[in-house]
Chain A
Amino acid sequence: MFPCRRFLIRRGAALLSFYFACSVISPVQAATVERALAMRSTSIASPVVENPLVDTSRRYDDGARWGFVTDRQSKRVAVIDTFNNTHADTLELAVIPATLVVSDIQNILVYADNKTPKLYVYDLIKHSQWALDLDLVPADLAFHEDGATLAISGEDRVVLVQPLAKKYLLEIDDLKSPFSINFDAGGYNLYITEQQTGLTHVWRFHDARRSQLQLGNGGAVSEITLSPDSRMALVSQPSENSVVIWDLMMKEHFKTLTFDSPAWRPYVSSDSNHIILATEKGKEYVVDSWSGEVLRALEIGKKPSAIRTGWLETIGVIETKKKLSVFAMNEDTPVRTFPIVNKLNELVVVSDSKSLFATQEGSSQVMVFDIRNGKMLPPVETGLIQPNLMAMGLTNTICH
Chain B
Amino acid sequence: MSGAAVATGDAKARPRVRRSRVFLALLQRDLRVARKELPFFLIRTTLQPLLFIVVFGFLLPRMGFMRGNYTSALLPGILAVSLTFASIQSVALPLVQDFGFTREIEDRLLAPVPTRLVAAEKIVAGVIQGMISALFVMPVARLIMGPIPGLTLSHLPLVVLVVVLGATAFSALGLLLGTAISPQQIGLMFSIIVAPMIFFGCAYYPWTGLAAVPVMKYAVLANPLTYVAEGMRGALTPSIPHMPVAATAGALLLLSAVFWGLGLRSFERRAVG
The answer to whether A and B interact is no
Residues of B within 8 A of A (CB): none
